[in-house]
Chains A and B, each alone.
Chain A
Amino acid sequence: KAGVTQTPRYLIKTRGQQVTLSCSPISGHRSVSWYQQTPGQGLQFLFEYFSETQRNKGNFPGRFSGRQFSNSRSEMNVSTLELGDSALYLCASSLQNQGRETQYFGPGTRLLVL
């Protein structure tokens, strides 16, 4: 079974621009979660989608948004980029994201904001 895939793997943007990251979950998985990883804050939960609906959201500003398509693929968007948005963005998938399930992560997208 193919793992979680994320595109693009690397991205360079400038302040004020917007960016869209994509995540394809493991086949059959319906839940997709997004995490941001920075040296200062570590790994932080952004949001989670299940059946095209956002079920849970972390403590991030409204500039961070996402969506999920009927095939469970997910995108996250960051508008009006700030220098502090430079991070590794990780996507994780699970069947239904019940607590007992393991979340499997993709390779991440490294975003650099200049």
Chain B
Amino acid sequence: AQKVTQAQTEISVVEKEDVTLDCVYETRDTTYYLFWYKQPPSGELVFLIRRNSFDEQNEISGRYSWNFQKSTSSFNFTITASQVVDSAVYFCALSGGGLRGGAGSYQLTFGKGTKLSVIP
């Protein structure tokens, strides 16, 4: 069974502060994929970043960066210089549990989400 834990339920920061969202996962798969999605009040899940389990290189993309550590099963996401438009619920997700034998069909297992409020 796969599991994703986002311990932070809600976070409030003042605009321009940096904020890190934590994500811890559990899986028995040796190959898996991790994602971060953003859900604004409109409801649509917006894809942010993806990381493969065999690539622990951490990257920065604009104001977003992520820290993937297999040793601690963590995939944390950081927003630098937060803005009011960043206010949303952020979900960490794990892709796996697909049909064995490489037949595809990977379902996403989501964490409960972290509600981020950026205060002007």
Q: Do A and B bind each other?
A: yes
Chain A contacts to B: CB under 8 angstroms: 31, 33, 35, 42-43, 45, 48, 50, 55-56, 58, 88, 90, 92, 96-108, 110
Closest B residue by C-beta to A9: B43
Contact B43 A110 (CB under 8 A): yes
Cα of A50 to Cα of B98 in the assembled complex, Å: 13
Cα of A99 to Cα of B112 in the assembled complex, Å: 21
Chain B contacts to A: CB under 8 angstroms: 31-33, 35, 37, 42-47, 50, 52, 91, 95-96, 98-99, 103-113
A-B contact count (CB 8 A): 70
On chain B, the residues within 8 Å of A103 by CB distance are 47, 108
- A35-B108, A45-B108 known; 20 other A-B pairs, CB under 8 Å? A31-B104, A33-B108, A42-B111, A42-B112, A42-B113, A43-B113, A45-B107, A45-B109, A48-B107, A50-B104, A55-B99, A56-B99, A96-B104, A97-B106, A99-B33, A99-B98, A99-B106, A103-B47, A105-B45, A108-B44
Main secondary structure of the interface of A (DSSP, over half): strand
On chain B, the residues within 8 Å of A105 by CB distance are 37, 44-47
